[in-house]
Chains A and B, each alone.
Chain A
């Protein structure tokens, strides 16, 4: 898929020819320098934005064909979001924030409350259930966000730099928590991070540079694709020629569909 921002006269090509598959239950890291298109990618996967080209298939559903309301329902039921900041509605309590996706999905009030308390317990914050969201510390807010992202038992959890505002101790606790939840619930996680400790915890890392996938490697670091940094990528003839040549370039053109290990 691709995503071009701005008007046609001065387009910003935030993503181009990105293609990959994530299997169910997998935990992938998305890494890359700032401005490389990581958030854009995650927003597209999460249906917060629509691609300029290409398509996104979640659980076999081509989401490009969905209406706004259908996307909203799918986000509510199938996807959990964790953002870098302003994750919570500050006027509400921690518990209310966790319950919010359930309430939007019109879940039963009593069961929902019980489940929200369960989720808060899982992230170790049951004691802060009644605290106002704005009174929580940064690490606590992110834990509440994780609890909220899990309330509707989504099949996919998307996290955009969830530890970006946290110190290393809190970051490590948070990633361990996500890893545990991922293993326990067999939910798919896609986590944007430049923190190598987090990247190391994931099954796989997708590296983005200048809107393209640079390489994808296993958690152990053995790369099966590498970047050449070729500057003539936009030259169509060169592309065509290179495309036939090898797998490396296919990756760079975003045509690689990597199988899970």
Chain B
């Protein structure tokens, strides 16, 4: 009966609950998308650049002996699925095309072990065209460099790096693949060659590496494994620049995560403004409802309903608006989440958000939306309860 009294005219209820539903949906959606993008970016940084645990030292060069030790120790941890050495340097490239020789200098160049990379990273998937390197004379070059140099797969390129003792070493490569990853990784402007070739060119010993990437079966174990590796690999007394630094992904993405969290906080703030707008909408709709029912309120008061009874009646109204809004927003939100979970859509230049099917992400905005509806109905309900019956009955 109370329901029929309040909701015979459905229009305003629909408006109010749609406002709640929309804010709940947006809050679910942005919450999930933005945390998803953050996780996606972190995954990408791990997959291509630093692994789940990164081992390095201040010198920037891990000795052959150390590299062997690292490789042995990491393999004994069951959570580790792979590990590989990498050397990063900067090199100059010379392309020989129809329009003469084109040069590109200071290209960041990765020396990698194609076999080990298969398990230790997803680096091979940066290749958007052609193939990943396999042999020592092969090179993968970023799409932007290739376009500028008017080169393509099959082109010959000359690379010059400065080895130890500052003698420039030059070597010819054949382009086998084009690298390009959307987002923040910068593979469209880098080069990838075989680590053995780079060692030779830089005059380094077999097994020497710039850093060592470890990949785990689950990214969330990174801190634990890093700790475990520290206990086994870091000798506490050595204090020179060859001492190993072992960092989980969290450390390597810390500044990114902090920046992104600030962005999320800002977006949440906008979300709160939206919630505030919805609350205002509910208040307005309920106030209209209350004033439209002035005579009825007067009548109910005349036949003996107490002020508290009027409050309950209109709070019930707010609660029902909240329930309808929360369910609608929740259903639409979960459809969107389930869809994005199974069919990831790439936002922001290629990073597909990692969308978890997490019911709490749904429930929080739903509960918040419902609470806001109930809270928003306090004032209109209170106003309704203050109507003086005699005056309310005179109202038209």
**Interface of A with B (CB < 8 Å)?**
43, 46, 48-49, 68-69, 72-73, 75-77, 81, 83, 86-87, 89-92, 96, 100-101, 103-105, 148, 152
CB closest residue in chain B, given A158: B302
CB closest residue in chain A, given B385: A68
Chain B residues, CB < 8 A from A96:
1
CB closest residue in chain B, given A83: B393
Surface stretch bound by A, among B41-49, B180-188, B293-301, B349-357 = B293-301
CB closest residue in chain A, given B303: A101
Q: Which of B302, B306, B309, B388 contacts A46 (CB 8 A)?
A: B302
Cα distance, A77 to B390, chains bound together (Å): 18
**Interface of B with A (CB < 8 Å)?**
1, 4-5, 8, 295-296, 298-309, 388-391, 393
Chain A residues, CB < 8 A from B296:
86, 89
Cα distance, A49 to B8, chains bound together (Å): 30
Q: Would you list 6 pairs from A and B whose C-beta atoms are within 8 A, ordered by A residue?
A: A48-B301, A49-B388, A72-B301, A73-B304, A81-B303, A96-B1
Chain B residues, CB < 8 A from A76:
303-305
Cα distance, A48 to B302, chains bound together (Å): 6
Chain A residues, CB < 8 A from B299:
83, 86-87, 89
Given A89-B296, A91-B4, also A100-B303 (CB < 8 A): yes
Given A48-B390, A49-B388, A89-B299, also A72-B305 (CB < 8 A): yes
Given A43-B390, A87-B299, also A92-B5 (CB < 8 A): yes
CB closest residue in chain B, given A73: B304
* 6 closest A-B pairs by CB: A76-B304, A49-B390, A48-B390, A48-B389, A43-B390, A91-B8
A148 touches B303 (CB 8 A): yes
CB closest residue in chain B, given A85: B295
Q: Which of B307, B388, B393 contacts A72 (CB 8 A)?
A: B307
CB A102 to nearest CB in B, in angstroms, measures: 10
Cα distance, A148 to B302, chains bound together (Å): 12
Cα distance, A68 to B388, chains bound together (Å): 10
Cα distance, A81 to B392, chains bound together (Å): 15
Q: Which of A86, A87, A92, A104 contacts B304 (CB 8 A)?
A: A104
CB closest residue in chain B, given A43: B390
Chain A residues, CB < 8 A from B390:
43, 48-49
Chain A residues, CB < 8 A from B1:
92, 96, 103
Cα distance, A190 to B302, chains bound together (Å): 16
Chain B residues, CB < 8 A from A104:
300, 303-305, 309
CB closest residue in chain B, given A86: B295
CB closest residue in chain B, given A40: B390
A68 touches B4 (CB 8 A): no
Chain B residues, CB < 8 A from A89:
5, 296, 299-300
A69 touches B306 (CB 8 A): yes
**Inter-chain pairs besides A48-B390, A69-B308, 8 sampled, C-beta below 8 Å:** A48-B388, A48-B389, A48-B393, A72-B304, A72-B306, A76-B305, A104-B300, A148-B303
CB closest residue in chain A, given B295: A86
A69 touches B4 (CB 8 A): no
Cα distance, A46 to B304, chains bound together (Å): 11
Cα distance, A48 to B304, chains bound together (Å): 10
CB A238 to nearest CB in B, in angstroms, measures: 33
B305 touches A81 (CB 8 A): no
Chain B residues, CB < 8 A from A103:
1
